[in-house]
Structure 1
Amino acid sequence: MQQTFIMVLCSVPDNTEADKIATEILNAKLAACVTMQPNVYSMYHWQGEIHQDREVLMMIKTCSTLFEPLAEAIKAIHSYDTPEIIALPISQGEPRYLNWIDQVTQ
């Protein structure tokens, strides 16, 4: 069976938390790469109100088979009650890059 790949999106409140999560999941080989975009602006419903916050968006490249352990590792560190942890399929990619994801997450 051919490996499938995903990009997991996860927003966190600041760079410190993003670095902590990224270090943990990379050390555990649950991800090949974590790209962090600071200072994204989020508006969302929470507990009956609309909130507005500056956050860091983490874009985590990994194999689909690692989603569950990756999500558990993130939740163990994440400060939000209900963290955003969503996976998007990578339907196509440069073969050498996809092979690299597969190799480093073994």
Structure 2
Amino acid sequence: MARAATTSDAFNAIAEPQRRDILALLRAGERPVTDLARELGMSQPRASKHLRVLREVGLVRVREVGKQRLYGLDARGLRPIHDWVGGFEQFWTGGFDRLETYVRELKQTRQED
């Protein structure tokens, strides 16, 4: 089965580690592509390509200020990912609850010895 294009949805777009790095940097606020490229050690055209993909799936917005384009995080695009990951919360919570019970039982056993 052929893999979906990276611009088809947020899941495919964030499969690329450098795009996740860009999103992480944009959490702090808007940045021009040159800053992002320098921070991530990539060329400006490569950073622009990643930003285009992120913009097309709704994870990044762009705002023009004079001749400069500032890119910012649009977290609304992360909603499908949040919803999907949230479906595993019960698994994680249950796992932590079981771990807590195990640790409590282990402490009790050690105190009894």
Q: TM-score, normalised by structure 2?
A: 0.24
If each structure's helix is expressed as a fraction of its own residues, which one has the higher value?
A: 2
- Bigger relative contact order (CA 8 A; separation at least 6): 1
Q: TM-score, normalised by structure 1?
A: 0.25
